């Protein structure tokens, strides 16, 4: 009989934290314990998110490593740049950590510092992080103590590209990825560009050539295929709340038909519940 896993969530008042709580609530072997949210500390989580009424009633707390360590697993749903400040201590105390942010996705710290435009203060922890894409990294995730959840855009690019690259259907160079995302992807902030008046009835590209997910997509595909990958990635902002629509273009290695692509996806994903 499987015992319940006690979890705590750091950053429970953000959009990622809220979505995480929905998922955890549906998991029959998870018990949600302490919820941390420094900006909303003292409020009940169902005050911040009324749809949690009669589901979660915990009072949000200021972060405390001691309180977090009362859990078996600590989820971190903080903006990039913040998780690195608390993860080393949690690992030293023997906790399993699952980070939803970008601080531990890139093994190359220099790449992180270039694309995220900040110094990394937990370089040793980076080396033990496991990229949390179960379709391609399931066994390592099972035994890992620090799981770096993949980003939204990278998930939508790696999942479709990996099989056709592995099967030699497309070239490794010249891949073009165009993604359109809803405004909630930027987090729960007061950024003017994300306001209704600014985003409505419009679409725009942003961070062209500099987006922090570029090295994540490239390095993950290189890890999966063992080959150098050349790609361009252009993200766009759509006036919708959530969701991502991605179109990918790539030179073919040989003449193929749609059935060849579908066969590649069936080969790698037919038993994967999260890929439809």
Q: Judge whether 152 counts as a catalytic residue.
A: yes
- The active-site residue, picked from 18, 78, 152, 158, is 152
Q: How far is CA 242 from CA 131, 133, 206, 232, in A?
A: 23, 21, 17, 23
Contacts of 263 (CB under 8 A, 6+ apart): none
Dihedral, 181, 205, 238, 17 alpha carbons, nearest 10 = 40
Contacts of 158 (CB under 8 A, 6+ apart): 133, 136, 150, 217, 220, 221, 224
- Euclidean distance between CA atoms 252 and 107, whole angstroms: 30
Q: Locate all alpha helices (DSSP H) within the chain, ordered by sequence.
A: 15-26, 45-48, 65-68, 87-92, 109-116, 123-126, 134-143, 152-166, 196-199, 213-225, 258-269
- Euclidean distance between CA atoms 251 and 248, whole angstroms: 10
The residue written with tokens 């201590």 in the block is: 89
- Euclidean distance between CA atoms 221 and 218, whole angstroms: 5
Catalytic residues, by residue number, are: 152
């Amino acid at each position: 009989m499987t015992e319940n896993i006690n979890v705590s969530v750091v950053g429970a008042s953000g959009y990622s934290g809220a979505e995480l709580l929905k998922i955890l609530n549906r998991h029959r072997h998870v018990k949600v314990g302490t919820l941390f949210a420094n900006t909303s500390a003292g409020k009940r989580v169902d005050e911040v998110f009324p749809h949690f009424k009669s589901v979660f009633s915990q009072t949000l707390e200021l972060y405390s490593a001691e309180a977090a360590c009362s859990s078996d697993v600590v989820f971190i749903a903080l903006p990039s740049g913040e998780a690195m400040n608390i993860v080393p201590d949690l690992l030293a105390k023997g906790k399993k950590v699952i980070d939803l942010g970008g601080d531990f996705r890139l093994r190359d710290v220099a790449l992180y510092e270039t694309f995220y435009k900040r110094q990394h203060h937990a370089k040793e922890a980076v080396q033990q992080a496991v990229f949390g894409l179960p379709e391609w990294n399931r066994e390592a995730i099972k035994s890992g103590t620090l799981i770096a959840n993949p980003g939204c855009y990278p998930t939508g690019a790696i999942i479709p590209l990996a099989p056709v690259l592995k099967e030699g259907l497309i070239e490794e160079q010249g891949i073009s990825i165009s993604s359109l995302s809803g405004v909630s992807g930027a987090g729960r902030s007061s950024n003017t560009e994300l306001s209704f008046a600014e985003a409505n009835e419009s679409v725009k590209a942003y961070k062209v050539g500099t987006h922090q997910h570029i090295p994540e997509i490239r390095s993950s595909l290189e890890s999966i295929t063992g080959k150098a990958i050349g790609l361009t990635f252009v993200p766009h902002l759509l006036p919708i709340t959530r969701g991502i629509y991605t179109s990918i273009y790539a030179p073919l290695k040989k003449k193929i038909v749609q059935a060849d692509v579908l066969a590649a996806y069936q080969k790698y994903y037919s038993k994967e519940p999260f890929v439809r």
